[in-house]
Amino acid sequence: MNEPIMTDMRSEYTKTLIKVGHDNPNVVVLGADTTDSLKTSSFGKEFPNRFFNVGIAEANLVTVSAGLAASGKISFASTYAIFLPGRAVDQIRNNIAYPSPLGKKGLNVKLVVSHGGLSVGPDGGSHQQLEDIAIMRVIPNFRVFIPADTISVSKLTHLMANEYGPFYMRMARSKTPLIHSESQEFQIGKGITLRDGTDCTIAACGITVRMALEAAELLQQEGISCRVLDIFSIKPIDNELLEKAARETGCIVTTEEHNIFGGMGSAIAESVSESYPVPIKRIGAQDMFGESARDNEVPLLLAKHGITSFNMVKQVKEIRSKKL
Amino acid sequence: MGLNYYQIKKNILRARKLVIKGTNAAGSGHPGGSFSMAEILGCLFYKHLKFDPKNPQWANRDRLVLSKGHAAPGLFSNMAVAGYFPDSELETLRKFGSKLQGHPDLKCPGVEFCGGSLGTGLSYSIGVALAGKIDSKDYHVYTIIGDGESDEGQIWEAAMTASKYKVDNLTVFLDRNFLQQDSYTERIMPLDEKLEGDDLSEMWKDASRWKTGDKWRSFGWNVIEIDGHRVEQIDAAITKANATKGVPTMIISRTVKGKSLEHMEDNPLWHGKAPDTDIVPIINLELDSQFMIAPSIIAGDMTNLENEIKKCVSGRSDYIHLDVMDGQFVPNKTFDHSKIKELRPLTVIPFDSHLMINEPVKHIQDYIDAGSDIITVHAEVTDESSFGEIHDLLKQNQIGIGFAINPDTELPEWSYKFISSLDQLIVMSVVPGKSGQKYIEETHTKMNRLNSILKQYNFSGYIEADGGVNLENIGSIFADGARAFVGGGAIIGQQDVRIAIREFRDEVLKSRRGTLLDKANELGGIDLVNKWIGLHVIGEKQEQIKKIAKEAGYI
Segment A97-150, tens digit of pLDDT: 999 999 999 999 999 999 999 999 999 999 999 999 999 999 999 999 999 999
Show the domain range for B295.
290-495
Q: Which of A121, A154, A177 is the last residue of a domain?
A: A177
* Chain B residues within an 8 Å CB radius of A65: 127
Q: Are strands A176-177 and A200-204 parallel, antiparallel or unpaired?
A: unpaired
Those residues whose C-beta lies under 8 Å from the C-beta of residue A127, and which sit 6 or more positions away, are A80, A82, A115, A120
Q: Give whole-number Cα distances, B278 to A85, B519, B523, B529, B555, in Å.
A: 48, 11, 8, 11, 19
pLDDT at site B272: 87
Domain-located, residue B342? yes
Q: Are residues A163 and A23 in the same domain?
A: yes
One domain, residues A147 and A15: yes
Instruction: Round to whole Å and give the CA distance between B165 and B183.
Output: 35
CA distance B271 to chain A (A): 22
Spatial strand order of the sheet with B351-356 comes to: B292-295, B484-487, B462-466, B424-428, B400-405, B374-378, B351-356, B320-325
pLDDT in tens, chain B (555 residues): 679 999 999 999 999 999 999 999 999 999 999 999 999 999 999 999 999 999 999 999 999 999 999 999 999 999 999 999 999 999 999 999 999 999 999 999 999 999 999 999 999 999 999 999 999 999 999 999 999 999 999 999 999 999 999 999 999 999 999 999 988 898 899 999 887 776 666 666 677 778 999 999 999 999 999 999 999 999 999 999 999 999 999 999 999 999 999 999 988 888 889 999 999 999 999 999 999 999 999 999 999 999 999 999 999 999 999 999 999 999 999 999 999 999 999 999 999 999 999 999 999 999 999 999 999 999 999 999 999 999 999 999 999 999 999 999 999 999 999 999 999 999 999 998 766 789 999 999 999 999 999 999 999 999 999 999 999 999 999 999 999 999 988 898 888 999 999 999 999 999 999 999 999 999 999 999 999 999 999 889 999 999 999 999 998
A146 and A52 in a common domain = yes
HSE, side-chain direction, 13 A CA sphere, residue B233: 19
Give the three-state DSSP class for B52. coil
Inter-chain contact A100–B107, Cβ cutoff 8 Å? yes
Is residue B366, in this structure, part of any structural domain at all?
A: yes
Q: How far is CA B75 from CA A209, B42, B132, in A?
A: 51, 10, 23
Give contacts of B124 with chain A, Cβ < 8 Å: 63-64, 66-67, 70, 95
Residue pair B75/B39 in contact (Cβ under 8 Å)? The answer is: no
Q: Does B459 touch chain A (CB under 8 A)?
A: no
Give the nearest chain A residue to B160 (CA atoms): A54
Quote the Cα angle for B162-B164-B165, to 5°.
65
End-to-end CA distance of chain B: 48
- From start to end of B155-245, where are the E strands? 170-176, 222-227
Residues A208 and A163 in one domain: no
Task: Average the pLDDT over A208-236 and give the result.
Answer: 98
Sequential DSSP letters for A191-208? -EEEE--SSEEEEE-TTH
For residues B45 and B62, give the distance between their C-alpha atoms in angstroms, rounded to a whole number: 10
On whether both A52 and A173 belong to a single domain, the answer is: yes
Q: Kindly state the average pLDDT of the residues A15-36.
A: 98
- Chain A CB contacts of B138 under 8 Å are none
For chains A and B, what is the number of CB pairs under 8 angstroms? 103
Same domain, A268 and A298: yes
The CATH number that applies at residue A167 is: 3.40.50.970
**High-pLDDT (> 90) share of chain A, %:** 98
DSSP state of B37: T
Q: What is the largest CA-CA distance in chain B?
A: 68
Which among B63, B106, B124 has CB closest to A101?
A: B106
Average pLDDT over residues A29-51: 97
pLDDT number for residue B465: 95
Whether the Cβ atoms of residue A151 and residue A127 lie closer than 8 Å to each other: no
**Integer Cα distance of A299 and B240 in angstroms:** 62
Same domain membership, residue A29 and residue A166: yes
Distance from CA of B239 to the nearest CA of A (A): 24
Cis check for the bond before A277: say yes or no (omega within 30 of 0).
Answer: no
Query: Are residues A220 and A166 part of one domain?
Result: no
Report yes or no on B525 lying in a domain. no
Contacting residues of A for B123, CB less than 8 Å apart: 59-60, 62-64, 66-67, 91, 95
pLDDT given at position B200 = 64
Q: Are residues B147 and B179 in the same domain?
A: yes
Q: Looking at the partner chain, which of A60, A90, A102 has a beta carbon nearest the beta carbon of B161?
A: A60
Contact at CB, A72 and B131, closer than 8 angstroms: yes
Residue A74 and residue A171 in one domain: yes
Closest CB to B125: pick one of A67, A90, A94.
A67
**Assign residue B398 a region: left if phi > 0, alpha if psi is -120 to 50, beta otherwise?**
left
Closest CA to B156 of B215, B210, B80, B76: B215
Active-site pick, A3, A12, A46, A58: A58
pTM of the predicted model over 0.90: yes
| Identity of the amino acid at B156 | W
Containing B35, the helix (H) or strand (E) segment is: helix B31-36
Please indicate, yes or no, whether residues B95 and B147 belong to a single structural domain of this protein. yes
Q: At which of B471, B495, B519 does a domain end?
A: B495
Task: Specify whether the CB–CB gap between B395 and B418 falls below 8 A.
Answer: no
Query: Average pLDDT, stretch A230-241?
Result: 98
- Helix A208-221 vs helix A309-320: crossing angle, to nearest 10: 60
Residues A146, A221: one domain? no
Give yes or no: residues B198 and B308 share one domain: no
The answer to whether B178 faces chain A, any CB pair under 8 Å, is no
Q: Cα–Cα distances in Å, from A14 out to A28, A76, A154? A: 12, 10, 9
pLDDT at B435: 67
Distance (Å, whole) CA B185 – CA B202 = 14
Whether residues B106 and A102 touch (CB distance < 8 A) is answered with yes
Do B399 and B264 lie in one domain? The reply is no
A173 and A200: one domain?
Answer: no
User: Do residue A216 and residue A80 come from a single domain?
Assistant: no
Q: How far apart are CA B549 and CA B448, in angstroms?
A: 25
- CA–CA distance from B449 to each of B438, B453, B462 (Å)? 21, 7, 16
Q: What is the DSSP letter of A120?
A: G
**Which of these three, A150, A177, A204, is where a domain ends?**
A177
A contacts of B132 (beta carbons < 8 Å): 71
Number of domains in chain B: 2
Beta carbons of B128 and A60 less than 8 Å apart = no
Q: Cβ contact (<8 Å) for A98 and B114?
A: yes
CATH code for the domain in which residue A257 is found? 3.40.50.920
Q: Name the domain boundary from B275, B309, B336.
A: B275
Asked if B158 and B25 sit in the same domain, the reply is: yes
C-beta of residue B118 within 8 angstroms of C-beta of residue B69: yes
User: What is d(CA A165, CA A162) in angstroms, rounded to the nearest whole number?
Assistant: 9
- The residues that bridge with B293 in the sheet, in sequence order, are B485
List C-alpha distances in Å: B139 to B39, B63, B129, B169, B551. Answer: 22, 7, 8, 7, 57
Kindly state the DSSP code that residue B350 receives in the 8-state scheme.
Answer: P
Interface probe with B: pick from A47, A64, A68, A76, most Cβ of B within 10 Å: A64
User: Beta strands of B177-273 (E only): which ranges?
Assistant: 222-227, 249-254
From chain A, pick out residues whose CB is under 8 angstroms from the CB of B104.
Answer: none
* Closest by Cβ to B165, choosing from A52, A72, A75: A52
With CB atoms and an 8 Å threshold, state whether A66 touches B127.
yes
CA distance A63 to chain B (A): 5
Is A233 domain-assigned? yes
Yes or no: say if A83 and A62 are a contact pair by the CB < 8 Å rule. Answer: no
Minimal C-alpha gap between B127 and chain A (Å): 4
* B406 and B350 share one domain: yes
Same domain assignment for residues B182 and B320: no
Clarify whether residues B40 and B171 are in a common domain. Answer: yes
* CB-CB under 8 Å, B105 with A73: no
Q: B172 — contact with chain A (CB < 8 Å)?
A: no
What whole-number distance in Å separates Cα of residue A266 and Cα of residue A257? Answer: 13
Domain closes at, from A152, A177, A202:
A177
Chain B residues in contact with A95 (beta carbon < 8 A):
114, 117, 120, 123-124
Give me the amino acid identity at A53: N
- Interface touch B134/A50, C-beta < 8 Å: yes
The number of folded domains in chain A is 2
Name the amino acid, one letter, at A264.
M
pLDDT of residue A131: 98
Q: Please name the residue of chain B whose CA is at the shortest distance from the CA of residue A74.
A: B131
- Residue B222 and residue B323 share a domain: no
- Which residue in A24, A71, A91, A105 has the most chain B C-beta atoms within 10 A of its own C-beta, making it the best mutation to test that interface? A71
Question: Which residue, of B232, B249, B275, is where some domain finishes?
Answer: B275
Buried b / exposed e across B285-302, counting CB within 10 Å, b at 16+?
Answer: bbbebbbbbbbbbbbbee
Q: What is the ipTM of this complex?
A: 0.95
Are the C-beta atoms of residues A48 and A77 closer than 8 Å to each other?
A: no
- Which residues of chain B make contact with A67, given a CB cutoff of 8 A? 123-131
CATH code at position B478: 3.20.20.70
Range of the domain at A262: 192-320
Q: Same domain for B239 and B367?
A: no
B113 CB neighbours in chain A (<8 A) are 70, 99
Same domain, B323 and B467: yes
User: In a 3-state reduction of DSSP, which class is residue A161?
Assistant: helix
How do beta strands B424-428 and B462-466 pair?
A: parallel
pLDDT given at position A171: 98
CATH number at residue B12: 3.40.50.970
Mean pLDDT, residues A172-180 taken together:
97
Q: Which residue of B has its CA nearest to A30?
A: B127
Looking at residue B45, the DSSP 8-state letter turns out to be I
Q: Which of B9, B58, B55, B12 shows the shortest CA–CA distance to B35?
A: B12
CB A58 within 8 A of CB A34: no
Cβ atoms within 10 Å, residue B408:
11
- Same domain for B189 and B309? no
Interface touch A91/B117, C-beta < 8 Å: yes
Distance CA A289, CA B357 (A): 86
Across the interface, whether the CB atoms of B157 and A68 are under 8 A apart is answered no
Tell me, rounded to whole angstroms, the distance of Cα B419 from its chain centroid.
22
Assess whether A58 carries a catalytic annotation: yes
